[in-house]
């Protein structure tokens, strides 16, 4: 990242906040964008009208003072729909990241610490990794019917192996540390060793990984909706909006441009935050990537 080559702060009298912003521009930019989007998501009903209200007379209107982002083929307000779409994207991103990190953490700790199960678990993870995530998610949603819950589960499953591999590699490294040997010879029980001595090592890489999972989950959810295997079409999600407006690209590009810009903005914010956190939390990789 460009930020790895930060100039050494020159002025001696800088406030701590200014220094933090200067040293971590990506974290600050990503976080501010995310806070802004979260506020938009929470305040959606107050700042925008009804995303489902149809006014066929006003169909495919270009952006103007009344409909800031124009209207779609059913006369629905694109601004209201874009603003409400923020909600699903953030919910999916955050839930998928939380669930897959939690499940992956447990499996990874077990596989890394108890060597007997390691072989089987990791072969399964290798197999799962080879299956293209989007296709697996499509199949699961098509099979069980579209809902927010199914979509979240379908995105979580392909993400788990990545977390397991990361956690396992950290555990394998931590196991070799003298303090773990000391704890073992001191007679601590396995559960306690894992919790006290191994688990804390996983936090920094997991936080970074969680942001990247969040970004990828938002993209996959949008892709699933776009392909017609996601959140039910009446719900205003960015993927659904773009899928329903594809035939109007020439006449009404704003129906695709605004939800697309929303998506890009959220994912960019999460990615910037992730890059920044990685630079800060893992200086070893930071130098390289």
Partner 1 sequence: MIAYIVRRLLSTVPVMFIVAVCVFLLLHLAPGDPAAIMAGDNATPQNIAQIRQKLGLDEPLWRQFGTWMFSLASGDLGESMFWRTSVTTLIGQRAEPTISLAITTIIFAVVIAITLGVVAAWKAGTGIDRFVMGFAVMGFSVPVFVVGYLLIYCFAIWLRWLPVQGYTPIEEGLGPWLRNLVLPTITLGLVYVALIARITRATMLDVLAEDYMRTARAKGVATAPMLLKHALKNAAVPIVTVIGIGVALLIGGVVITETVFNIPGIGRLVVDAIQRRDYPIIQGVIMVFSGIYVLVNLLVDLSYTFFDPRIRY
Nearer to partner 1, 193 or 242 (CB): 242
Residue recorded with tokens 């925008």: 48
Angle between helices 25-47 and 254-281 (to 10 degrees): 140
Told to check if 126 binds partner 1 by CB under 8 A, we report yes
Q: Of 35-43, 62-70, 72-80, 247-255, which segment contacts partner 1 by CB under 8 A?
A: 247-255
Told to check if 109 binds partner 1 by CB under 8 A, we report no
Q: How far apart are CA 122 and CA 144, in angstroms?
A: 27
Residues 6+ apart with CB under 8 A from 271: 30, 211, 212, 215
Told to check if 62 binds partner 1 by CB under 8 A, we report no
Residue 233: both structure tokens together: 């079409």
Told to check if 289 binds partner 1 by CB under 8 A, we report yes
Q: How far is the CB of 102 from partner 1 (least distance, A)?
A: 19
Question: Per CB under 8 A, which of residues 187..206 are in contact with partner 1?
Answer: none
Helix, strand, coil proportions of the chain in percent (round to 5)?
75, 0, 25
Question: Per CB under 8 A, which of residues 203..222 are in contact with partner 1?
Answer: 215, 219-220, 222
As a residue count, the chain comes to: 289
Question: Per CB under 8 A, which of residues 140..159 are in contact with partner 1?
Answer: 140, 142-145, 157
Told to check if 253 binds partner 1 by CB under 8 A, we report yes
Q: Within a 10 A sphere around the Cβ of 54, how many other Cβ atoms?
A: 15
Told to check if 110 binds partner 1 by CB under 8 A, we report no
Nearer to partner 1, 189 or 246 (CB): 246
User: Site for partner 1 (CB under 8 A): which residue of 62, 106, 131, 247?
Assistant: 131
Residue 167: both structure tokens together: 């956690």
Q: How far apart are CA 169 and CA 36, in angstroms?
A: 36
Told to check if 252 binds partner 1 by CB under 8 A, we report no
Nearer to partner 1, 26 or 235 (CB): 26
Long-range contacts of 56-65 (CB under 8 A, 24+ apart): 60/248, 60/251, 60/252, 60/255, 62/252, 62/254, 63/254
Under the rule (CB under 8 A), what is the footprint of partner 1? 1-2, 5, 123-124, 126-128, 130-136, 138-140, 142-145, 157, 215, 219-220, 222-223, 226-229, 242, 246, 249-250, 253, 256-257, 260, 263-264, 267-268, 271-272, 275, 287-289
């Amino acid at each position: 990242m460009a930020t790895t080559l930060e100039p050494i702060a020159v002025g001696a009298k800088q406030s701590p906040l200014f220094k933090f912003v200067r040293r971590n521009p990506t974290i600050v930019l990503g976080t501010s964008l995310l806070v802004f989007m979260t506020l938009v998501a929470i305040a959606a009903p107050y700042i925008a009208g009804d995303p489902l209200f149809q006014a066929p007379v006003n169909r495919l209107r270009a952006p103007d003072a009344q409909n800031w982002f124009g209207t779609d083929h059913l006369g629905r307000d694109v601004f209201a729909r874009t603003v409400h779409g923020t909600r699903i994207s953030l919910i999916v991103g955050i839930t998928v990241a939380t669930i897959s990190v939690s499940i992956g953490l447990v499996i990874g700790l077990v596989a890394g610490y108890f060597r007997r199960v390691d072989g089987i678990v990791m072969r399964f993870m290798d197999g799962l990794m080879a299956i293209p995530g989007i296709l697996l998610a499509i199949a699961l949603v098509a099979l069980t019917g579209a809902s927010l819950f199914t979509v979240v589960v379908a995105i979580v499953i392909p993400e788990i192996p990545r977390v397991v591999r990361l956690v396992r590699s950290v555990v394998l490294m931590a196991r070799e540390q003298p303090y773990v040997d000391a704890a073992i010879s001191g007679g601590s029980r396995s559960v306690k060793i894992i919790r006290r001595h191994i688990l804390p090592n996983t936090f920094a890489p997991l936080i970074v990984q969680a942001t990247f999972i969040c970004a990828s989950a938002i993209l996959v959810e949008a892709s699933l909706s776009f392909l017609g295997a996601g959140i039910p079409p009446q719900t205003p999600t960015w993927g659904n909006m773009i899928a329903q407006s594809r035939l109007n690209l020439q006449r009404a590009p704003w129906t695709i441009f605004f939800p697309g810009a929303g998506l890009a903005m959220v994912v960019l914010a999460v990615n910037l935050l992730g890059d920044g956190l990685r630079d800060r939390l893992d200086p070893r990789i930071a130098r390289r990537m």
